Structure 1
Amino acid sequence: MKSGKESGSEKLAGNFNVRNTCPAAKKCGGCSYAGRTYLEQAAAKYKKVQRLISPFCDVMHIYYCDDPLFYRNKVHSAFKKLRNGHVICGPYETGSHRIVEVDSCLIENKTASAIIRDCAVLAEKLKISIYDERRGVGELRRILVRTADATGEVMVVLIIGSNVFRKKKIFTDELLKLHPEITTLLIDINKRHDSMILGGTEIRKVMGKGYITDIILGKKFRVSPESFMQSNHKMAEILYSEAIRLADFTGNEVCIDAYCGTGSTTLSFADSVKSITGVELNEHAYRDALANTSLNKVENASFVHADATEYMERLAKQDAKIDCVILDPTRLGTTSKFISACKELGPSKIVYISCCPETLARDLKEFRDKGFEPFIAEPVELFPWTDKLETIVILSNISKTRKS
């Protein structure tokens, strides 16, 4: 197994033996490998990737996380008021909307966890109206906390279920006294009756810029409440560095980066290629990506607000010249139409970054059927204790390989 660091062997050996002993693990369901040591869970994940991906190509050793606790930089929680007036917070029990009350979490950023617990205490103390999901009434509903490891900035989004938050001032004033490390505080109105955390219609700024800034591989990234960023900062840097290394760019490539989010992949790759275009459907993430490009003064990167599959199909119809396609989709993977468009475009290389080995294996089979041969895969552990694992796969266009 590879380490995220080359030194500090005593520390690394100790982290291999760290065991997830969270008492709420069985109910919460967030940590699929609770009860095991970090080494045991990393080995189990690697075995799974080998089983699913080795039929397509060689699987390199897993790049493990040398700090597998308290890494998650995006944390959200729901609130509930019990009959005795006690306000609890925590994740939902697996397959339900029953809150699992927890005092701390082994994978959540410690600052984020402390802010969430203190919000529950304040809500009880100030007799804040707590949203009732069954009746669809009440004010304080959920909370979202995002932290930036490189800059120390902290964003808090209070999600309310009504147009008014009557005790907003006293609640936010007390919260900021308890946590002066908060750099931006927002209120989101969410009257939806589904599982979406944010309402998606209106976010009100209470304090700060309305976003936080993090730094990955020397580039600054603006992160808004809705934006996608990898939840493990240290390992995200390793993931992108390894993807760039394995891609072995010449510097002359014209690239497409599909499902690009706020542009962290796009801008990280930009220094290694001639030009790169990020494609993102989420409007908030797209806007952040544009801002990030200006912030970092990157001149060879651009962004398109579009569905990745539809954009690729448009490029294929235009007979565009693309040398490399990079994709980092959700755990659902990509689409058959996307893969067909890749065949039409005929890039020499595809860099596929996946957080779900099952959908990755499904897509690799279809890519291979369309003439793209996977030739190396490397798992990178971004999500210790969970069932997720990032895997980088490099695919080569068979027709162009034969010609060369």
Structure 2
Amino acid sequence: MNTIQKNDIKDGEVIDLTHEGHGVVKIDNYPIFVPNALIDEKIEYKIIKVKKNFAIGKLMNVKQESKERIEPPCVYYTKCGGCQLQHMSYPAQLAMKKEQVVNLFHRKGDFKETTINDTVGMDNPWRYRNKSQIPVGLSHDKNVKMGFYRQRSHDIIDMDECLIQDDQHQQVMNVVKQLFNDLKVSIYNERSKQGLMRHVVIRTGYHSDDLMIIFVTNGKKFKQAPTIIEKLLKAFPNVTNIKQNINKTHSNVIMGDESITLYGKDKIEDSLSEVTFKISDRSFYQINSAQTEKLYQLAIDYAQLSGDEIVLDTYCGIGTISLSMASQVKHVYGVEVVPEAIADAQQNATLNQLENTTFVCGKAEDTILKWQQEGIQPDVVMVDPPRKGCDESFIQTLLTLTPQKIVYISCNPATQQRDAAMLQEKYKLIEITPVDMFPQTTHVETVALFELK
């Protein structure tokens, strides 16, 4: 019988971590999840929420610290929801991410034989984000605030610095904030749905140093734009494009469907593994370029290419994986449901003079079957779906297509494990490597190799 009450103060020892990085303490097998607590720590905590199967605690005092505990370098860490693991040493973060994958595949899943490698980390796990999406609001004294949301809320923490963003983004943010204040730019209010400026989005080219600044507005009329552009170009000579994105929907979606180029080119350029990409304001492009190069190299290594292969890249986006592989195979076919992404992929193929590529807009499962009827039989299928994983109909299509190898990149190992269970009918899961694409956060990306039985 559970006798735990809200506001109880308890002592305990942390025996495990959840996939969100919360410490796990147990009282008579009843788990209490305590954010910011680490394994092996003796802690004092306060019960703040009691549910039937678990409780949530708040860390009050660490009586015996883990050797992996470090002082978070960011002054906003305890308030901001952007990072969750800054109190944990980087080697411990990498170990936790591997453990998460081991837990899903070896313990909960039927994949005891599968090799799970150590997490591929970064040499310097800071300042890695090449894209920042910064909400804009007003403080009580009507000053503009820009930063990131408080944990589990839409309350903006006003920030001067964020240690996981590209350094330049911070400088741009601080200049923009000052300009908004000086020029009395109208700021959007989530509650009243009134006001103009909603977000500022900044993108940088990791290798090119191109800089794109996007103002996301609740309407078209942006009368201070010419002055702001002039000041930004003076402050940041590497700005290649300034855009306005119009989003009149009152939802959590950051970008709207309409973009206007206010200055410069339409897209920025960057390269990954010696392939050049043009990236528009709304293109999906991996946030951490240094780790993306490692991730794609792993995927290509898993495919064990000889040069004669026909490769299918499903969920191909702007062609980042397809074009990284193209020089090493006979032909790559890419499919994606977003028309703008396919247009970008085709343009990127032309830009890099990679003629052994075909990109088609459509649902992966329908397009694959059409290609199969045309006699196209892939040797390797690359899969890189969104967080929700693959549709069951897509998995069934793969099972009828029977390529020799499937290389599955995932940003959500839980849905990858579910999909792996369906693929087991004909495929053996050989190996998984976790890759740390988002240091200081709980996210983990994985690359998995499946071979036809």
Which residue does 1:401 correspond to in 2? none
Which of residues 244, 247, 262 in structure 2 aligns to 1:187? 244
- Given residue 311 of structure 2, which amino acid in structure 1 is its aligned partner? C
Q: How does 1:84-103 map to 2 (within 5 A)?
A: 84-103=141-160
1: CA distance, partners of 2:243 / 2:223: 15
Which of residues 308, 314, 326 in structure 2 aligns to 1:258? 314
Please tell me the root mean square deviation across aligned C-alpha atoms, in Å. Answer: 1.8
In the alignment, does 2:395 pair up with 1:343?
no
> Which is strand-richer, 1 or 2?
2
Cα distance 1:99–1:294, how it changes in 2: closer, same or farther (>3 A)?
Answer: same
Q: How does 1:176-215 map to 2 (within 5 A)?
A: 176-200=233-257, 202-215=258-271
3-state DSSP class of the match of 2:149? coil
CA contact (8 A) 1:375 1:393 kept: yes
Which residue does 1:123 correspond to in 2? 180
CA contact (8 A) 1:224 1:284 kept: no
Which residue does 2:227 correspond to in 1? 170
The C-alpha deviation readout for 1:376-398, integer Å capped at 9, x for no partner, is 11112221111222211110111
Which residue does 1:10 correspond to in 2? none
2: CA distance, partners of 1:136 / 1:17: 43
CA contact (8 A) 1:312 1:338 kept: no
1: CA distance, partners of 2:369 / 2:170: 43
CA contact (8 A) 1:89 1:116 kept: yes
In the alignment, does 2:332 pair up with 1:298?
no
TM-score (norm 2): 0.81
State the Cα distance separating 1:248 from its structure 2 match.
0.7
State the Cα distance separating 1:45 from its structure 2 match.
0.7
State the Cα distance separating 1:318 from its structure 2 match.
6.0
In the alignment, does 2:101 pair up with 1:45?
no
Which residue does 2:435 correspond to in 1? 380
TM-score (norm 1): 0.90
Which residue does 1:395 correspond to in 2? 450
In the alignment, does 2:271 pair up with 1:219?
no
Q: How does 1:48-67 map to 2 (within 5 A)?
A: 48-54=100-106, 55-56=110-111, 57-67=114-124
1: CA distance, partners of 2:364 / 2:75: 41
Which residue does 2:382 correspond to in 1? 326
- Given residue 239 of structure 1, which amino acid in structure 2 is its aligned partner? L
Identity of aligned residues (%): 33
The C-alpha deviation readout for 1:28-51, integer Å capped at 9, x for no partner, is 322121211111111111111122
> Which is helix-richer, 1 or 2?
1
3-state DSSP class of the match of 1:240? helix
Moved more, 111-120 or 152-161: 111-120
The C-alpha deviation readout for 1:96-154, integer Å capped at 9, x for no partner, is 22112221111111101221222111101111111122222212211110101111101
CA contact (8 A) 2:437 2:445 kept: yes
Q: Which blocks of at least 5 consecutive residues in structure 2 are unaligned?
A: 1-67
Cα distance 1:36–1:274, how it changes in 2: closer, same or farther (>3 A)?
Answer: same
Which residue does 1:359 correspond to in 2? 415
Q: How does 1:119-158 map to 2 (within 5 A)?
A: 119-158=176-215
CA contact (8 A) 1:261 1:289 kept: yes
Cα distance 1:185–1:324, how it changes in 2: closer, same or farther (>3 A)?
Answer: same
Which of residues 77, 88, 92 in structure 2 aligns to 1:25? 77
CA contact (8 A) 1:243 1:351 kept: yes
CA contact (8 A) 2:70 2:87 kept: no
Which residue does 1:5 correspond to in 2? none
CA contact (8 A) 1:20 1:106 kept: no
Which residue does 2:328 correspond to in 1? 272
State the Cα distance separating 1:27 from its structure 2 match.
3.4
Which residue does 2:65 correspond to in 1? none
Which residue does 2:86 correspond to in 1? 34
State the Cα distance separating 1:343 from its structure 2 match.
0.7
Which residue does 2:45 correspond to in 1? none
Aligned length: 381
2: CA distance, partners of 1:18 / 1:94: 21
2: CA distance, partners of 1:309 / 1:104: 44
State the Cα distance separating 1:177 from its structure 2 match.
1.9
2: CA distance, partners of 1:355 / 1:302: 25
3-state DSSP class of the match of 2:116? coil
- Given residue 360 of structure 1, which amino acid in structure 2 is its aligned partner? Q
The C-alpha deviation readout for 1:353-385, integer Å capped at 9, x for no partner, is 11111111111111113x111111111222111
CA contact (8 A) 2:95 2:118 kept: no
Moved more, 353-362 or 51-60: 51-60
In the alignment, does 2:301 pair up with 1:248?
no
State the Cα distance separating 1:316 from its structure 2 match.
5.4
Cα distance 1:151–1:184, how it changes in 2: closer, same or farther (>3 A)?
Answer: same
Structure having the higher Rg: 2
Q: How does 1:226-241 map to 2 (within 5 A)?
A: 226-241=282-297
CA contact (8 A) 1:65 1:381 kept: yes
The C-alpha deviation readout for 1:302-350, integer Å capped at 9, x for no partner, is 1111122332354456664222110111122111111100011111110
